[in-house]
């Protein structure tokens, strides 16, 4: 355990330094740093307990573990919030930690006068009320993470409906971390219940496995949190629909509903014809960082109307609509014998893609084969 703690503290300190050196810090960076500081302090306090338990180290370990999760949750909410600012309504995420804080301080300093032996027993074999708080903390984390996955998914829908290039905007890593943390909290509840009811004689080994998993997952979270420089700036978008629901390429029914639509069928058909002109004649899709607000400015309408028209007429979000044109353009270049002197990546860049990774991924999703396989089939 000591080795894990020391490694964890060292790596977290490196991450903290990286964030502090970052220019143009956002509110999300502050909460990412806070989460790392809390976790590093928690690991340090756990080291102190392994040497000699005191009232201070016991309180720090117990309290810090309760404050790490809500700090992470606020970080996630700030990250996906369209203006990337802190909302006061999110501060209630700390409610459970504060309640536990009050109880713990009252118990240690007013109700009981614990000596070192008492604290060791309290730490290793906590009474029923402590088990209630510990397991409630796990349940609170699971419930809140399941709740967090909904706005996280909505964020994914928003960026697909406003941007044609989303590789640097996606937060799949945050979703992965959330699922990982749900599993670790569920395992923690299960293992400690088994220990409480006598099914496990020694809880130290499974506890160390869970603790190691938490440390590794937080490293994963911290690493990607630092890398997430590019964020979708929805403040630049005139307006977007808050109930985006459409049928994606994988068949998932996301059910688009524009409840306050001001477009008639005739207006929508006319607007869609203008959009198609920009794509088919002007080839606007060749702009790698094309955003929906650029289309709206050209046609002098709101982004909401562009979004509604594309989703209703093409039955797909802006991201898929743009990339369908890019794929068709790219296919034509791949099938052109005169273009064989150019690399596949060069042809992809010429088609509006901005990286090899996004080119290969999007092309395979649409055709079921890699660009190289497609070119070989076309020219064979």
Whether the CB-CB separation of 292 and 321 falls below 8 Å is answered with: no
Assess whether pLDDT exceeds 70 at residue 377.
Answer: yes
SS3 228: coil
Tell me what the mean pLDDT of segment 353-365 comes to.
Answer: 91
Are 224 and 277 part of one and the same domain? no
pLDDT on residue 236: 53
Structural domain of residue 77, as residue ranges? Answer: 2-233
Are 217 and 316 part of one and the same domain? no
Cα distances (Å, whole numbers) of residue 232 to 78, 154, 164, 302:
12, 13, 12, 18
Are 167 and 220 part of one and the same domain? yes
Assess whether pLDDT exceeds 90 at residue 179.
Answer: yes
Enter the tokens of residue 364. Answer: 């395979």
Range from 11-25, 151-165, 233-247, 313-327 carrying the lowest mean pLDDT: 233-247
CATH of the domain at 12: 1.20.1070.10
Average pLDDT of the residues of the chain: 85
Are 240 and 174 part of one and the same domain? no
Are 223 and 240 part of one and the same domain? no
Are 324 and 183 part of one and the same domain? no
CATH of the domain at 301: 1.10.10.60
Encode burial over 250-272: b for 16+ CB neighbours within 10 A, e otherwise.
eeeeeebebeeeebeeeebeebb
Assess whether pLDDT exceeds 90 at residue 81.
Answer: no
Are 251 and 126 part of one and the same domain? no
Assess whether pLDDT exceeds 80 at residue 328.
Answer: yes
pLDDT tier at 291, thresholds 50, 70, 90: very high
Are 157 and 258 part of one and the same domain? no
Whether the CB-CB separation of 217 and 177 falls below 8 Å is answered with: yes
Residue among 85, 108, 107, 104 nearest 96 (CA): 104
Are 138 and 158 part of one and the same domain? yes
- pLDDT tens across 235-252, in order? 555 443 443 444 444 444
Cα distances (Å, whole numbers) of residue 183 to 35, 138, 146, 223:
20, 10, 11, 20
Are 251 and 229 part of one and the same domain? no
As a whole number of angstroms, the distance between CA 320 and CA 249 comes to 8
- pLDDT tens across 130-171, in order? 889 989 999 999 999 999 999 999 999 889 999 998 887 888
pLDDT on residue 245: 42
Top-ranked range on mean pLDDT: pick from 13-22, 94-103, 260-269: 94-103
Q: Which class for 214: exposed (0-12), middle (13-18), buried (19 or more C-beta within 10 A)?
A: buried
pLDDT tier at 233, thresholds 50, 70, 90: low
Are 214 and 246 part of one and the same domain? no
Assess whether pLDDT exceeds 90 at residue 94.
Answer: yes
Tell me what the mean pLDDT of segment 367-378 comes to.
Answer: 86
As a whole number of angstroms, the distance between CA 37 and CA 166 comes to 30
As a whole number of angstroms, the distance between CA 201 and CA 309 comes to 63
As a whole number of angstroms, the distance between CA 97 and CA 315 comes to 45
Tell me what the mean pLDDT of segment 215-224 comes to.
Answer: 83
pLDDT on residue 229: 56
As a whole number of angstroms, the distance between CA 209 and CA 48 comes to 20
The CB-side HSE value for 116 (13 A sphere, CA atoms) comes to 5
Are 152 and 225 part of one and the same domain? yes
Whether the CB-CB separation of 64 and 105 falls below 8 Å is answered with: no
Give percent above pLDDT 70 in the chain: 90
pLDDT on residue 260: 47
* Cβ-based neighbours of 224, under 8 Å, separated by 6 or more: 173, 174, 177
pLDDT on residue 200: 80
């Amino acid at each position: 355990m000591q080795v894990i703690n020391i490694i964890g503290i060292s790596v977290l300190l490196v991450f903290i330094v990286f964030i502090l050196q970052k220019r143009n810090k956002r509110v999300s960076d502050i909460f990412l740093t806070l989460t790392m500081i809390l976790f590093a302090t928690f690991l340090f306090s756990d080291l102190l307990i392994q040497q000699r338990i005191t009232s201070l180290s016991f309180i720090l370990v117990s309290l810090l573990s309760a404050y790490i999760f809500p700090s992470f949750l606020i970080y996630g909410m700030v990250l996906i919030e369209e203006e990337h600012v802190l909302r006061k309504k999110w501060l209630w995420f700390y409610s459970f930690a504060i309640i536990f804080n009050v109880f713990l301080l009252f118990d240690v300093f007013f109700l009981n006068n614990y000596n070192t032996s008492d604290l060791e027993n309290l730490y290793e074999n906590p009474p029923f009320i402590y088990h209630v708080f510990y397991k409630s903390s796990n349940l609170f984390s699971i419930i809140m993470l399941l709740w967090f996955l909904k706005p996280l998914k909505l964020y994914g829908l928003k960026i697909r409906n406003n941007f044609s290039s989303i590789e640097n905007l996606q937060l799949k890593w945050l979703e992965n971390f959330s699922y990982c943390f749900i599993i670790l909290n569920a395992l923690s509840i299960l293992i400690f219940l088994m220990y409480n009811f006598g099914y496990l004689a020694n809880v130290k080994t499974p506890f160390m496995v869970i603790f190691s998993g938490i440390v590794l997952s937080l490293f994963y979270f911290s690493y990607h949190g630092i890398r997430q420089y590019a964020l979708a700036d929805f403040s630049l978008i005139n307006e977007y629909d808050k109930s985006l629901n459409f049928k994606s390429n994988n068949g998932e029914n996301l059910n688009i509903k524009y409840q306050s639509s001001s477009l008639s069928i005739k207006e929508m058909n006319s607007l869609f014809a203008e959009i198609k002109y920009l794509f088919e004649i002007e080839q606007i899709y060749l702009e790698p960082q094309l955003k929906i607000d650029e289309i709206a400015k050209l046609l002098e309408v709101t982004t909401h109307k562009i979004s509604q028209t594309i989703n209703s007429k093409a039955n797909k979000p802006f991201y898929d609509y743009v990339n369908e044109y890019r794929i068709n353009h790219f296919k034509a270049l791949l099938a052109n014998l005169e273009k064989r002197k150019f690399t596949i990546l060069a042809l992809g860049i010429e088609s509006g893609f901005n990286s090899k990774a996004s080119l290969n991924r999007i092309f395979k999703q649409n055709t079921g084969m890699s660009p190289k396989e497609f070119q070989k089939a076309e020219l064979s």
